[in-house]
Amino acid sequence: MEQIQKVAVIGAGAMGSQIAMLAAMAGCQTTMVDVDQERLDAARDQVLQSAQRQAERGRLEAEAVDQAAARLTTEPDLASAVAEADVVIEAIIEDLDAKRELFGQLGEYTRPDTILATNSSSIVSSRLAEIPHPERVCNMHFFNPALVMRLVEVVGGDHTSQETVETVKALAERMGKTPVVVRQEIFGFIANRIVAAIFDEAISLYEQGIASAEDIDTAVTHGLGHPIGPFALLDLTGIDVNVGIKRLEAQETGDPSRGPSQTLLDLVDQGRLGRKTGRGFYEYGDR
């Protein structure tokens, strides 16, 4: 771990910028990479402000946030950004072809000993490891919002070395996270497989007319102690996002029954995508 001094994070979206901030707070010289410099500048400003708000609430250490600002830089040129990186974390769109193209470039631009981690929650790293030295490739899956959520799933495949897994696990701990090691590649890893089972059962109860979405959510929050019910969570993450995940699950498993339910498909057709459109299972108005 003493050798992990430089980290590059690919992608300036919500996840990428927060992962970059975590790396900088952990004492690493961190470069956030995206093709658009204006987007990089905006993402850096936004994540620094978010971290400062979390520090004011006592969720992050204020001193670490202040020091991280000096360590967090941006770079639109991929080759320059990753040339000397000890660890590269990919956080771009959930598209297999895009990720494969990126990892092909990383295999060319990085040192042979640079660890290459994908933040993907659904695409296992063996799909991206057709590059030189595949033993350095793994999943390092953060949860949204990464600044606050403590869990990180570290997933290695048959191609991944134990040293890579241990180094990534230690890096997560250095970031203040609680890592778990998934010993085999499997769609959805641990947490998302469990929440997907909850989603599936909740939708089944709803479609059978057993209970309303509101009452199912109430049963889960008050009976099981969950902070949010499954239908409210679907609205929060986006109905269309979950449809995409279920389609990918059916494709990856070869089981058409694992695809999206008719209820989710109907909501997407109606433009009811959840909070971002103001309505999903629930109505949110202008909020």
Is residue 83 situated within a structural domain?
Answer: yes
Is residue 85 situated within a structural domain?
Answer: yes
Catalytic residue among 141, 159, 242, 249: 141
- Catalytic, 192? Answer yes
What is the CATH number for 219?
1.10.1040.10
Pair 83, 112: CB distance under 8 Å: no
**3-class state of residue 284 by DSSP:** coil
**Tokens matching residue 243:** 């449809």
Is residue 286 situated within a structural domain?
Answer: no
pLDDT tens digits along 64-111: 999 999 999 999 999 999 999 999 999 999 889 999 999 999 999 999
Is residue 256 situated within a structural domain?
Answer: yes
Q: What is the pLDDT of residue 2?
A: 60
Q: Do 256 and 210 sit in the same domain of this protein?
A: yes
pLDDT tens digits along 153-169: 999 999 999 999 999 99
**Tokens matching residue 67:** 């020091």
Q: What is the pLDDT of residue 1?
A: 52
Please say which residue of 140, 163, 182 terminates a domain. Answer: 182
Q: Cis (ω within 30 of 0) for the bond into 145?
A: yes
Catalytic residue among 119, 139, 192, 242: 192
Q: Do 95 and 55 sit in the same domain of this protein?
A: yes
The CA distance from 166 to 183, in Å, is 12
What is the CATH number for 175?
3.40.50.720
Of 12, 105, 25, the closest CA to residue 67 belongs to 25
- Catalytic, 141? Answer yes
- Residue 137 burial by CB count (10 A; 0-12/13-18/19+): exposed, middle or buried? buried
Q: What total number of domains does the chain contain?
A: 2
End-to-end CA gap in the chain: 44
pLDDT beyond 60 at 13: yes
- Catalytic, 214? Answer no
* Domain housing 24: 6-182
Pair 76, 40: CB distance under 8 Å: yes
Is residue 284 situated within a structural domain?
Answer: no
The CA distance from 245 to 247, in Å, is 5
- Catalytic, 121? Answer yes
Catalytic residue among 17, 50, 119, 121: 121
Catalytic residue among 90, 125, 153, 249: 153
pLDDT tens digits along 18-72: 999 999 999 999 999 999 999 999 999 999 999 999 999 998 899 999 999 999 9
